[in-house]
Amino acid sequence: VAFTHVSNALGTVNDAKYWTERSHAAGATVLVDGAQSVPHLQVDVKDLDVDFYMFSGHKTYGPTGIGVLYGKEALLDAMPPYRGGGEMIGSVSFENGTTYNELPYKFEAGTPHISGGITLGSAIDWMNAVGVAAITAHEHELTQHAHAQLGDIEGLRFYGTAPCKAGVVSFLVDGIHPYDLGTLLDQLGIAVRTGHHCTEPLMDKLGIPGTVRASFGAYNTLDEIDRLAEGVARASSMLR
């Protein structure tokens, strides 16, 4: 069973521990996509009891081209490597065949992304120094403020209104395509993402072409949320 901890399209926080328990009860192995949760929430993989948990570097204030995969030792040990190369073997011979290196080297064939690993490590150190709980609280304040400010705009509808959310506000304005709204916001110096956010089945279920998504991080401010709301109001009036 594979599921996301936090929806990148809606910001909804799924109860990963509950679904892991249900999945294990049915005999399933569990993989959780934490790309949208690790930057915003305190994650304890042992408490969740997930079998595998992964997240990306670029959403965790780090570089692109690198990520992290956590796995339970017994499961990783039983898995064969997915690629071959230097450092991932213990020995190779025609007589005795191949033995693999110990974990985690068994899965690290060839030259790793050294600079990316160093940079991602520094980014994680920075998050821990600031405090993930402090980041979560700050982003919650930003999200609440965004809902309050954007909610006053005529015709604006939010998508993803679960009580437990993390760092994302998705919306549409009646009669305006999200691409058009995003283009005008870009011209105002406001960066949002528009489209289906790699979740086309979800958008089909909602009956919409996509949304405008504002994502918040530790570096964002309440003043920037006000600028976002002002920009959406201005762009909406121009496009109606």
Catalytic pick among 25, 74, 129, 198? 198
Within 60-131, residue ranges assigned H as helices are 73-78, 114-130
Q: Measure the CA–CA gap between 194 and 181, rounded to whole angstroms.
A: 8
Q: What's the distance, Cα to Cα, between the start and end of the chain in Å?
A: 44
Q: Rounded to whole angstroms, what are the CA distances from 159 to 51, 71, 101, 169, 190?
A: 31, 33, 47, 8, 20
Q: At what angle do helices 222-239 and 178-187 cross, to 10 degrees?
A: 120
- Torsion, CA 64, CA 196, CA 34, CA 137, rounded to 10: 100
Strand-strand pairing, 89-93 and 97-100: antiparallel
Return the closest-CA partner of residue 53 out of 3, 120, 116: 3
Q: Which amino acid is at 156?
A: L
Is 164 among the residues known to form the active site?
no
Is the preceding omega at residue 209 within 30 degrees of 0, hence cis? Answer: no
> What is the spatial order of strands in the sheet that 156-159 belongs to?
156-159, 168-173, 211-215, 193-195
Give the active site residues.
198
